[in-house]
A and B are shown apart, each in its own frame.
Chain A
Amino acid sequence: MKDISISVKKKDHEIKTSGRAIYVADMKFEGMFYAKVIRSTIAKGKIKEISLPNIPDNYYIIDAKDIPGKNALKIVESEQPIFSEGNIEYMGEAIMMIVGPDKRKIEELSEKIKITYEEEEPVFTIEEAYEKLVSYHYEKGDYKKAFQNADEILEETFITGYQEQAYIEPQGVIGIYENNKITIYGSMQCPYYVKEAVMLTMGMDDKHVQVIQNVTGGGFGGKEDYPSMIGCQVAVAAKKVKRPVALILDRKEDMLVTPKRHPARLKYRVALNNKKEITAIEADIRTNAGAYLGLSGVVLQRALIAAIGVYKIENLYVSGAAMKTNTVPNGAYRGFGAPQTFFAIEMLMNHIGEKLGLNPLEFKKKYIAKKGDTTATNGKYHYHVPLDEMIDKAEKISGYSKKYKKYSKPQTGRYRRGIGMSLFLHGCGFTGSAERDYIKSIAKLVKNEDDTVEIFVSNTDMGQGLHTTFSKIVANTLGIPLEKVYINNPDTDKVPNSGPTVASRSIMIVGKLLERAAKKMKEQWKPHEPLTIIEHYKHIDLIPWDIEKFQGDAYPAYSYGLNVVEVEVDMLLATTKLLGVWGIFDVGKAIDKNIIMGQLQGGMLQGIGYASMEKMENKNGQIYQANMTDYMIPTAKDTIPFNIELIDNPYEGGPFGAKGAGELPLVGVAPAYVAAVENAINKNITEIPLTPEKLMEKL
């Protein structure tokens, strides 16, 4: 059998390169209506009066009164209305929708709707916010005593900004109501999330709601929860007008109202003993949740679990809160809370190391966790932690320590150089026991009479190559050609619920189910006889997770990463040029080398953007950079080829030893980039994005 990592042509290669892929905006149904959402123009208050123009025949207003079930969006809790019932919590909140046959007429009508409000005092920032939508804290060891006995206490606060997913395809859905059944088509990551949300909003049961994923042009977390919102909105409309209803956001609307990465403020205190060793860390992590809880609680959990990065610190106090503000609700973006925390902990460790006159890496090495050590939450590193080998490899290919020493000497002239390194990990799958308690994944394999095999799962390919990697796992396990295995975009009427496509879980969790199913199928394989195998999730319970106490194994396994970034700073303009970017990753085993490289390069480039140029501000409640001209993501000219190497560290819980890889590459780039700039200019930096405007203030 060939090594599974050897790359193949992607399953969706032909359809995408030929332009034949059908995205939701390409779909037309007979008699289809278009929808436009009417949104609040204030950040907080009550609707006083709505004055509507004359609505012509064939045009309809859809609002909260049309909702047959609950006016509540099911995400984690169901606190957010589908359409406002009079209360406004953020600018852009949906109040009603106009649907009809002609988009221009809809535009015209929407301009004539006049809404008056009774405005209330909004809050926009973490500093102003006073309401915690959710909070957690945990302890380890005796942090109080460690701080009491400290020889020195250091304090530092870190600030991180918004980040917009900037998927190439804006969000969109189509809802159809026929024979007392709702069908939703759309661009999405999680068909069953949309289905459950629509069931609640429509008051319909499992059998009467169907969700079908279209070819999806990128998600990066941004299509985890929001498709549920627009899915519910078109479902309500489709039932009322008895026609297919399409709601396709344009780029500006998408950027204004869909969830982004949480801005965060991370306060750290560190106790050092008289040998200048870290004895305790206290961290307080606040995120800007926006107006509703949404995914903010689970994002915060990841942020808190990562509080001490890859290190072993005996005494801890970690607390955090998702703060309510009157801004667009934030949500998932690749990394899910971890990029914020890794920026803080890595910069903190660099700063302490440098303060002690050490190469930051030498300082960090003393604290790196090893197999058998306890995690921050008193779980355990059950498997080999390969960071030492990864550091050796990084030194060899990037020359980090030598360059660090060279660039640390005083530099003069317009252009100055620096290098930075970061160490990080990412827990694979859902936090704690959620896979067992909530997700309960089911995967199905069906062998047809012609000995082809179809994969039935609810996980989506959004460009990350899942159709190909899942097919490879099944084909390789069965020992049949890849062409004999196929998979379609999920349709909830056909596929079991194998869970959402989030949390770096698809390959490790669902891929494992498919591997097990394929093994069973192989055992029972009889040529030309149909066969169906259904496989359920089996939990590997190590140290049980207790969410109340925030204790135990937060994840079954971790993927590890190391980044090195080398930059040149132009002292006149405070701009930077990348000289080298290195990434060493342990993803267990690559199911497809090309696909993994695509994931790693793409994620790292998003990390470069997060660190340097992706600036998004909220001005008086509104996103200020709401188009792709003003919100800058790196182009090919802003980057250079990355040097990426993989470490083989197979994990028994994943198919062929594979672990999660989706989020990992974004998690650690920002601290490596910022450390490189610090090295060049010899100043400490505690905030991202480090735009030229920010950097200029330091020069």
Chain B
Amino acid sequence: MVKGYYPKTINEVLEILSMEEEHMLICGGSDLMVTKKFAQNMIFINQIEELKEIKEDSNKIYIGAGCVYKEMIDNEIIPEVLREAIKHIASPAIRNIASIGGNICNASPAGDTLPVLYAMDAIIVKAFINKDGNLYITRVPICDFILGVRKIALEKNEMVIAIEIDKESYKNMTYSYYKKVGGRKSSAISKLSFVGLMKIENNIIKDVKMAFGAVGPTALRSREGEKILIGTKISDIEEKKEAVINFYDKLIIPIDDQRSTAKYRKKACLNLLNDFITYKN
């Protein structure tokens, strides 16, 4: 027999999770349902209002893990580049039920919110109830939360309750760039994706954040690569370009699979990178 729970609050979820048995959290189910693996206890969390909050203060935004894509697309608090990425995920029906928390916890190499969240140094907010019955909240950067293909840093008694993004990471950017390349324009798993954010002041690149999706076990971001560009004068970009592209040429090691080829993925990634860094020229 498997059990199903419909908790109404985060606390109730955490209480169930602190029990001995194994449980699976299910929100929209758009990834889980196709796996057809339901022989375990399920906690349905799509009705929990606390998980659907989107709010901001002067420094950061807070997105409840249960927010579905459609709600995020329609909410202006959400950074434009993240909304752009979400608009290209799956199809309207999926966007009405699939949650941001689910996309993160599924930790697919082709998860489309991941490169954007990596580029913005998103923070994963986790919660658990300790044996003494107290509620604990912990925060971990997304790059430390996602450990590999479908592997995440989440204990049996923990759940992801929200994502926090520092406004500094996107607000004062001069421009942002996002491109998903799928086998078709809708309902397609990414062959690759690219996100770039650039801040230019006085014709100098002050900051740049770039991440690639679906070309490695998880989203690929390299501060070392970004450093090559930071401090560069716009007029000198052509000179720096080669070094940047060579750097990422070595870094990106995609695979051949049923959706695309390593060769294509690499070439398209480098073409997009080139297009991004020379965008303002």
A696–B184 CB distance below 8 A: no
Residue of B nearest to A634 (CB): B184
B260–A693 CB distance below 8 A: yes
Contact of B271 among A573, A625, A629, A632 (CB under 8 A): A573
SS of B interface (majority): loop
Give complex CA distance A636, B91 in Å.
Answer: 11
Residue of B nearest to A609 (CB): B184
A572 at the interface (CB under 8 A from B): yes
Q: Given the complex, which residues of A lie within 8 Å of B268, measured CB to CB?
A: 572-574, 692, 696
Q: Mark B177-205, 1 if CB is under 8 A from A, else 0.
A: 00101011111110100000000000000
B259 at the interface (CB under 8 A from A): yes
B275–A638 CB distance below 8 A: no
Contact of A637 among B185, B263, B267 (CB under 8 A): B185
A630 at the interface (CB under 8 A from B): yes
Q: Given the complex, which residues of B lie within 8 Å of A636, measured CB to CB?
A: 186
B183–A613 CB distance below 8 A: yes
B184–A693 CB distance below 8 A: no
A18 at the interface (CB under 8 A from B): no
List residues of A (381-427) whose CB comes within 8 Å of B's CBs.
Answer: 414
A572–B275 CB distance below 8 A: yes
A694 to chain B, nearest CB (A): 9
List residues of B (225-281) whose CB comes within 8 Å of A's CBs.
Answer: 258-261, 263-264, 267-268, 271-272, 275
Asked, given contacts A613-B184, A693-B264, whether A573 binds B272 with beta carbons under 8 Å apart, the answer is: yes
Number of A-B residue pairs at CB separation under 8 A? 50
Give complex CA distance A630, B184 in Å.
Answer: 11
Asked, given contacts A572-B275, A573-B272, whether A696 binds B267 with beta carbons under 8 Å apart, the answer is: yes
Give complex CA distance A613, B184 in Å.
Answer: 8
Give complex CA distance A696, B179 in Å.
Answer: 17
A575 at the interface (CB under 8 A from B): yes
SS of A interface (majority): loop
B264–A629 CB distance below 8 A: no
A572–B184 CB distance below 8 A: no
B275–A693 CB distance below 8 A: no
B186–A696 CB distance below 8 A: no
Give complex CA distance A535, B273 in Å.
Answer: 69
By CB atoms of chain B within 10 A, which of A572, A574, A638 has the most? Answer: A572
Give complex CA distance A102, B268 in Å.
Answer: 49
A180 at the interface (CB under 8 A from B): no
Contact of A573 among B91, B181, B188 (CB under 8 A): B181
Contact of B258 among A575, A613, A630 (CB under 8 A): A630
List residues of A (560-614) whose CB comes within 8 Å of B's CBs.
Answer: 572-575, 613
B181–A693 CB distance below 8 A: no
Give complex CA distance A490, B260 in Å.
Answer: 44
Q: Given the complex, which residues of B lie within 8 Å of A629, measured CB to CB?
A: 189
Q: Given the complex, which residues of A lie within 8 Å of B267, measured CB to CB?
A: 696
Give complex CA distance A234, B221 in Å.
Answer: 55
Give complex CA distance A693, B262 in Å.
Answer: 9
A274 at the interface (CB under 8 A from B): no
A117 at the interface (CB under 8 A from B): no
B258–A624 CB distance below 8 A: yes
B259–A635 CB distance below 8 A: no
Residues on A facing B (Cβ under 8 Å): 414, 572-575, 613, 617, 624-625, 629-630, 632, 634-638, 692-693, 696
Residues on B facing A (Cβ under 8 Å): 91, 179, 181, 183-189, 191, 258-261, 263-264, 267-268, 271-272, 275
Give 6 A-B pairs besides A635-B187, A696-B264 with Cβ atoms closer than 8 angstroms.
A575-B181, A635-B184, A635-B186, A692-B264, A696-B263, A696-B268
